[in-house]
Amino acid sequence: MPRAAFTYEALPYRVVFGEGTLARAADEAGRLGIKRALVLTTPAQHAEGIELGHVLGERLAGSFPEAAMHTPIAVTERAIGLIEANDIDGLVALGGGSAIGLSKALSLRTGLPQIVLPTTYAGSEMTPILGETRDGIKTTQRRRDIVPDIVIYDVDLTMSLPASISATSGLNAMAHAVEALYAPEANPIISLMAEEGIAALARALPQIVASPSDRDARSDALLGAWLCGICLGAVSMSLHHKLCHVLGGSFNLPHAETHAIMLPHVVAYNAKAAPGAMRRIAKALDAPDAALGLFGLQRRLKVPLALADIGMPEDGIDLAAELATRNAYANPRSLDRAALRELLARAWRGEVPLS
Ligand code: NAD
C-alpha cells in the first residue's frame, strides 16, 4: 500500500539543550545582535530572572517580572512602555507558558528577537501560537513570526519544578504528541517525535514524582517535552485541546491539571476511529491499551483524576459539551454531543475512561 501523502514544514528555531546551558545566554544574545535585553519572568521566578540578568551582563538593560497566566494584554502594554523607554533591542524570557507567551506577545508588537529558557513542559516555546486575554476573553492566533529565535533548554532550571506540577505539565505535553498522531496533517517526522516524546515522558515522570532530584529523569522529561512541543507547533490539535480550552475558558480551571484529567477520556473517545495512532501511543506507553495506559500513568503520578476536584461545577457539563460541538473542527471521530456529555461526566467523577 502506498504511504499516505503528507506535507512537512519545519519552523526556523535554534535549540540549545543540556545542563548548565543558562551560562550560554550572553553568547546566544550576541548571535542575535542583542545589546539591550529585557528579561521576562513571572513574579514567582524573579530570582531566576535576576540570575539570568547576571549572566547577560552588559547585554542586560532591564527586567519585567510581571508575566501572568493567559497573557493579559494589559500586562503586555505595560511592558511595551518599558521597552520604548529603555531602548530595548531583544527579549529573553525565562519560565513556563506564561513568560514565553508574554515574550511572543511583545515580539508580535515590536518585532524584537526572542530567546526563551523554558522551565516547565508546556511546550509554548516550540509553537507559532499565541493566546492572549483582554477583559477575560481569550483569543488565539497562529503566526510564524512569533516563534522564538533561540530556545535554551537547561535541565537545571527544571529541577525546582515541584513534583506535582512536573506530573501535570508532563501530561499536558504528552497530550500534544497524542493528538499529533491522529492530526489531519500527521506526517512521518512529527509522528516519530510524538512517539518518542510520549515514551520519554512516560519513563521519566514516575521517576520524578518518586525522586524530584533525579537528574537523568529530569533530562529525559525535558527532552520529551521538547519533542511534544514541536508536535504542538507543527500540526493542528483536535478534541482534547478544544475541550481543555472550553473548560479553562468557561470555568477558569487550571491549565495543566485539566489536560492531565481529560487526556485518557479523549483518547478512549477517539480509539476506534484512529487505530494506528492508538497502537503507537500504547507502544510508547508500553501498555496494552492507549487510554487505559494513560489512565494508569495518571494514577501512578497521583495527579487529580476528577474535574470535580479542580473546581468544575457539575452543572457545567452540559455547557461544556455544547460549546465543544458548536463549531466544526477536525477530529478522528465525529463530535457527538451525547457521547461527549458522557465523556465529560466520567471525567468529572474521575472514573475509568470508557474504552
Ligand atoms: P506557567 O508558565 O504559568 O507556570 C506556572 C507557575 O509555575 C508560575 O508561577 C511559574 O512561575 C512557576 N514555575 C514555572 N517553572 C518553574 C520551575 N522550574 N520551578 C518552580 N516554579 C516554576 O505555566 P505553564 O503550564 O508552563 O503554562 C501555561 C500557560 O501557557 C497557559 O496560559 C497556556 O495557555 C500557555 N500555553 C501556551 C502554549 C502555546 O503554544 N501558545 C502552549 C502551552 C501552554
**Is 169 a pocket residue for ligand 1 (Cβ < 6 Å)?**
yes
* Maximal C-alpha separation, the chain: 62
Rounded distance, CA 121 to CA 300, Å? 18
Contact by Cβ (8 Å): 184, 130: no
**For 84-134, what is each residue's pLDDT tens digit?**
999 999 999 999 999 999 999 999 999 999 999 999 999 999 999 999 998
User: How many A from CA of 7 to the centre of ligand 1?
Assistant: 30
Burial of 220 (0-12, 13-18, 19+ CB in 10 A): buried
Atom 39 in ligand 1: residue holding the nearest Cα: 124
Indicate if ligand 1 lies below 6 Å from the C-beta of 72.
no
Gap from CA of 275 to ligand 1 centroid (Å) = 32
Residue 96 CA to ligand 1 centre (angstroms): 3
At residue 322, φ and ψ (nearest 5 deg) are -70, -45
Tens of pLDDT, residue by residue over 285-322, are: 999 999 999 999 999 999 999 999 999 999 999 999 99
Which atom in ligand 1 lies closest to the alpha carbon of residue 98? 2
With contact defined as beta carbons under 8 Å apart, do 116 and 127 qualify? no
CA distances to 65, 210, 347 from 245, rounded to whole Å, are: 26, 30, 15
Mutate to test the pocket of ligand 1, among 22, 102, 104, 124 (most ligand atoms within 8 A of CB): 124
Best of 70, 165, 226, 242 for a ligand 1 pocket test (most atoms within 8 Å of beta carbon): 165
Helix, strand, or coil (residue 284): helix
The Cα 241–Cα 239 span in angstroms is 6
pLDDT at 112: 98
CA 105 to chain centre: 16
Ligand 1 atom closest to 68 (CA): 3
Total-model pTM: 0.96
Q: Is the pLDDT of residue 1 over 80?
A: no
Model confidence at 253, pLDDT cuts 50, 70, 90, reads: very high
Decide whether any atom of ligand 1 lies within 6 Å of the 218 Cβ. no
> What is the C-alpha to C-alpha distance for residues 125 and 290, in angstroms, rounded to an integer?
27
Other beta carbons less than 10 A from residue 74's beta carbon: 11
Q: Which residue has the cell 516555546?
A: 125
Q: Which atom of ligand 1 is nearest to the CA of 232?
A: 40
pLDDT per residue as tens digits for the range 162-190: 999 999 999 999 999 999 999 999 999 99
SS3 label, residue 252:
coil
Residue range 339-343: mean pLDDT, rounded: 97
**Amino acid type, 299:** R
| Domains of the chain, each with CATH number or no CATH | 14-158 (3.40.50.1970), 163-349 (1.20.1090.10)
